[in-house]
Amino acid sequence: MTVIVRDFRPPDAEAWTRVRRTSVPYLVSTPEQVTHDLAHAHPDRHYRLLVAERDGEIIGTAQAGIAHEGKEPGQGFCTPHVLPGHTGHGAGSLLLSTAEEHLAQAGATVVHAWVLDRPESLEFARGRGYRPGRSAHFQHLDLAGGALPPLQEVPAGAELRPGSDFADDPRPLFDADAQVTLDEPTDIPTEPADYEDWLATVWRHPTFDAALTTVALVDGRVAAFSAAGTDGDRTYSSNMTGTLRAFRGRGLAKLAKNDSLHRARAAGYTDAYTANDTGNGPMLAINKWFGYTVCATEVRHARTLG
Of 275 and 1, the one with more pLDDT: 275
C-alpha to C-alpha distance for 302 and 296, rounded to whole angstroms: 20
pTM: 0.94
Span 173-231, pLDDT tens digits: 999 999 998 887 777 777 777 899 999 999 999 999 999 999 999 999 999 999 999 99
pLDDT > 90 fraction of the chain, expressed in percent and rounded: 90
Residue-level pLDDT at 127: 97
b/e per residue 64-84 (b: at least 16 CB within 10 A): bbbbbbbeeebbbbbbbbbbe
Which residues is 135 bridged to in the sheet?
299
Domain 141-299: give its CATH code: 3.40.630.30
The contacts of residue 298 (CB under 8 Å, 6+ apart) are: 114, 115, 116, 117, 135, 136, 138
Residue 46 has a CB neighbour count (10 Å cut-off) of 18
Q: Is it true that 3-108 and 141-299 share their CATH fold?
A: yes
Look up the CATH architecture of domain 3-108: 3-Layer(aba) Sandwich (3.40)
Phi-psi region of 291 (alpha: psi -120 to 50; beta: other; left: phi over 0): left
Span 79-103, pLDDT tens digits: 999 999 999 999 999 999 999 999 9
Q: Of the candidates 64, 67, 42, 47, which has an alpha carbon nearest to the alpha carbon of residue 188?
A: 67
CA atoms within 13 A on the CB side of 108: 30
Confidence grade of residue 262 (pLDDT, cut at 50, 70, 90): very high
| Residue 213, φ and ψ in degrees, nearest 5 | -75, 135
pLDDT at 271 over 90: yes
The mean pLDDT value of the chain amounts to: 95
Average pLDDT on 276-302 reads: 94
Average pLDDT on 122-142 reads: 97
Residue-level pLDDT at 186: 74
Domain chopping of the chain, boundaries: 3-108, 141-299
Residue-level pLDDT at 193: 73
pLDDT at 110 over 90: yes
Angle 45-126-58 (CA atoms, 0-180°, nearest 5)? 60
Residue-level pLDDT at 278: 95
Confidence grade of residue 242 (pLDDT, cut at 50, 70, 90): very high
Residue-level pLDDT at 182: 86
